[in-house]
Amino acid sequence: MKRTTIILLLLMFTATTFAQTKKEKQVAAAVSQLTNAMTDADSLLLDRLVNDQLSYGHSGGHVEGKVEFISKIVSGKSDFVSIGLNNQTIAVSGSTAIVRHRLDAKTNDNGKPGEVHLQVLLVWQKLHGHWKLLARQAVKTMQ
């Protein structure tokens, strides 16, 4: 009896922890596509995933719009070699989604290898059936 109760509790916890709504899965897929587009410097995919009114805040305080964000990625001025996302949470309210995660990346900005470790907040908006990045703000993590 005790063993059965423990197993049932574990199954309930696992199902609750990993359950995602359809919208949350769509947002998670958009985040994954954005990550891939950034590492691949794919200007067409970045253009499709990013809202024209993008506000992209860097951990150093610089804020840029869509054109500057895509231009820096494509030119290699901001070059992500690899990006790892951890502890991601997604909250959807209507046509808006808030995503938080830890980003650990290897970079090669202007040919200079480096690493970044950030806590990131993303705001996504569903427009014409597609999730688009509206805002991003990053802060440096405490190592």
User: What pLDDT digit, counting tens, does each position of 71-125 carry?
Assistant: 999 999 999 999 999 999 999 999 999 999 999 999 999 999 999 999 999 999 9
Q: Which of these, 83, 89, 91, 92, lies nearest to 101 by C-alpha position? A: 89
Query: Could you tell me the pTM of the whole model?
Result: 0.85
pLDDT digits (tens, 9 = 90+) for 55-65: 999 999 999 99
Domain boundaries, the chain: 21-140
In this structure, the strands spanning 112-127 and 130-140 are: antiparallel
Please give the Cα distance from 109 to 36 (Å, whole number): 17
Q: Which of these, 11, 37, 47, 26, lies nearest to 124 by C-alpha position? A: 26
Architecture of the domain whose range is 21-140: Roll (3.10)
Q: Which of these, 45, 33, 106, 36, lies nearest to 70 by C-alpha position? A: 45
Provide the residue type at 89 as one letter: T
Please give the Cα distance from 95 to 81 (Å, whole number): 32
